[in-house]
Amino acid sequence: MKAEIIDGKQAAERLRTEIGRQVVRLREQHLLTPGLAVILVGEDPASQVYVRNKARQAREASMASFEYRLPYSVPQEKVLELIDRLNEDPAVHGILVQLPLPPQVDADRVINAIRPEKDIDGFHPLNAGALATGGDGMVPCTPLGCLMLLKHRLGDLAGLRAVVLGRSNIVGKPMAALLLRESCTVTIAHSKTRDLADECRRADILIAAVGRPRMVPGDWIKPGATVIDVGINRIDTPDGKGRLVGDVDFDSAAEVAGAITPVPGGVGPMTIACLLLNTLEAACRQHGLPVPQGLMEAAWG
């Protein structure tokens, strides 16, 4: 194995520690405690784990955590009523609705109902538009975490060729917008891209976010490239327990890449850390306070 392993778990721990320091400072100097509300609809096991982790890490960062668990059969109107109450609650600065939602609940309508300033997922059309046009809004957590890992590893990204494999509104498109902000030359590749392997081989930075286990083999990767694997896929194993793998075939890719994120332990922990970062930022903005700067640099040491 030649590639440097990008330890997202360690980076996230450092970032959360620094966020916790800023939260304590905010409370001591301004009597303000950032509040995060998480809504879970149904009893999907994976979603339950995610919600527990988010709530626990919010509390560990000295934030106020509010959890709302609704039954799978809940009418859409009840979800929207809850969001309306949270929009008006001054103790709640960030609202997150755990996806996916059951079929009777329109995810777009739910996302659009969250006030943009409390949309810490960055999915509201106003926040998506701000990101696309270079404006000031909330940035989706997973792409933001990916960017932090890239800048920590590579420093200035200007002029580098980046390929984003995947075009979702959650990861692919906002990731491309963030890389453009850093003056990268960006290609968004997807299932209809011709000569997909060749496109990937041109990349100094390859972001894989397609949701297909081990889709990207090592011979798709430019020697020395930095690979960020966003995929989290469960595959069967002979013992019946299964295990998690990414969208990149880690073993073959690590023989070629200069650096690579593992799965698990790469992008996932950074996503939750950036959720807390967005909550802190949202609380400051809603109270007219300056957003703490240099958190990433302080976290890296």
102: its two tokens: 């059951």
Handedness of CA 284, 265, 196, 198 (dihedral sign): positive
CB 104 within 8 A of CB 229: no
> What is the DSSP code (8-state) at residue 261?
-
Of 54, 118, 173, 222, which residue is the catalytic one? 54
CA 210 to chain centre: 14
Calculate the CA dihedral of residues 250, 254, 258, 260 and round it to 10 degrees.
Answer: 30
H/E segment holding residue 107? helix 107-113
What is the Cα–Cα distance from 265 to 4, expressed in whole angstroms? 14
173 classed as catalytic = no
Of 22, 98, 118, 249, which residue is the catalytic one? 98
294: its two tokens: 């240099």
- Give residue for tokens 């994976």: 46
Phi and psi based region of residue 278 (left: phi greater than 0; alpha: psi -120 to 50; beta: remaining): alpha
78 classed as catalytic = no
SS3 243: strand
The pairing of beta strand 243-245 with beta strand 233-235: antiparallel
The pairing of beta strand 64-70 with beta strand 35-41: parallel
115: its two tokens: 């006030």
SS3 189: strand
Of 22, 57, 119, 121, which residue is the catalytic one? 121
121 classed as catalytic = yes
Which residues belong to the active site? 54, 98, 121
